[in-house]
Amino acid sequence: MRVMLGLIGLLATVGAMAYVLNSAILPETQAVLQQQEKVTPEIQQISGRSASGKKVEETYALYADERGDGKLDDLQVSQLDPDSPMQSYFGLQKNDVILVAIDGHAVETKMEGNSDEDAARSAVREAFATSGKLQIQRGDQTMTLPAAGSGRRRASAADSGAPGSEGNTMDEIHGRLHALPTY
């Protein structure tokens, strides 16, 4: 009889633990995992990484067109991996000519006349990492990438008009990351 009562007590304890896990801990864990799924692409972009973890600058190559005075004229996309974030975010294509890089804080770096090639290349990377834009020339057409309404720009809850939503500024992303529960 004691053994039977012990088994019933053990089963009741296991049942209570399963109930607590299912009703309290599991939904919170699922919410954290869903939030992580949402912010992971943003974290990768901010850190300048592709979805596979590769440095974004390893997924494309730029050829520096120089003027006669040794300063830059522009940067031309000479190589672009098929899974490059520069292609998926901006819509950049091989042979596009980058004229201006605009970071997420609206700081413009013009390629023409720039005397620091490394700074110009870094500005292109920063435009990606800070959700900025590139002004390019493709054939005879000059355009700004990502194109408005192209779906390439990271969408935020604020873009959808959801109540209580936040945008994608660095401060807002930082706030959302630090609002995640810690254990």
Choose between 126 and 7: higher pLDDT: 126
Is the pLDDT assigned to residue 175 strictly greater than 50? yes
Average pLDDT over residues 90-105: 93
The pLDDT of residue 64: 93
Residues 68-78 have a mean pLDDT of: 93
pLDDT band at 155 (very low <50, low <70, confident <90, very high): very low
Task: Look at residue 157 in the predicted model and tell me its pLDDT.
Answer: 35
Query: Which stretches does DSSP call E strand in the chain?
Result: 60-66, 72-80, 97-102, 108-110, 133-138, 141-145
For residue 60, with 0-12 CB atoms within 10 Å meaning exposed, 13-18 middle and 19 or more buried, which class applies? buried
Q: Where are the domains of the chain?
A: 56-145
**pLDDT digits 0-9 by tens, 47-61:** 777 777 788 888 899
- Residue 92 in this model has a pLDDT that exceeds 70: yes
Report the pLDDT averaged over residues 32-49: 74
* CATH class assigned to 56-145: mainly beta
Q: Does the structure show a pLDDT above 60 at 165?
A: no
Query: What is the rounded average pLDDT of the residues 150-160?
Result: 41
For 112-136, b/e burial (b = at least 16 CB within 10 A) is eebeebeebbebbbbbbbbbbbbbb
Distances (CA, A) of 129 to 41, 80, 158: 11, 17, 19
**Model confidence at 83: pLDDT above 80:** yes
pTM: 0.62
